[in-house]
Amino acid sequence: MKILIVYAHPVETSFVASLHREIVDTLHAGGHQIDDCDLHAEEFHPVLSRQERVDYHDTAINRRHVEAYVQRLLAAEGLVLVYPVWNFGFPAILKGFLDRIFLPGVSFRMQGSNYLPALGHVRKLAAVCTYGAHRWRAILTGDPPRRCVKRMMRSLIDPRGSCTYLGHYDMNRTTAERRAAFLKRVRRHFALW
């Protein structure tokens, strides 16, 4: 399977970096073809420009500034997001990726006032992330990243496809044992892809 991994953390020694390496290694070992998109290493520019917003609904030109990233998404049969949750949201670079790449004609189509999914070639979607806060705090805020992945992004892929959300909560008070257990859980999950 062709899998696009979108990784969004600026620190190579972080636990999220360890999760990213584990996912890449596990999927490689499973024989998958990996497109590893490290947004920071690639110096992805996350800001949607004025002109990009003006052109947003014009599918003939809306992808011209991000065509290479659009092609990577369109080639994927699996999509994995790896990121920290900061302030109960996506890191800015990942939010910018979604804003600039998940365009009309790419991730969805407009038919009158209806939005129709356009990522039917994606059969598997997963998010692997860390939260500084405890799970109950995320629940109290409505857990926006989880909702975005499990509802909005899930609605864009193959309706028979799978969607998994793996979150490691309470990073501010985590232990080596808890991190090791979560890495093992991530390894087991992606070994089954």
49-90 pLDDT per residue, tens: 999 999 999 999 999 999 999 999 999 999 999 999 999 999
Where are the domains positioned within the chain? 2-191
The beta-carbon contacts of 53-59 under 8 Å, at least 24 apart in sequence, are: 56/103, 56/104, 57/104, 57/110, 59/103, 59/104, 59/105
Q: Is the pLDDT of residue 42 over 90?
A: yes
Bridge-based pairing of strands 114-117 and 108-111 is antiparallel
Share of the chain above pLDDT 70, in %: 100
- pTM of whole model > 0.75? yes
pLDDT confidence bin for 1, thresholds 50/70/90: very high
Is domain 2-191 in CATH 3.40.50.360, yes or no?
Answer: yes
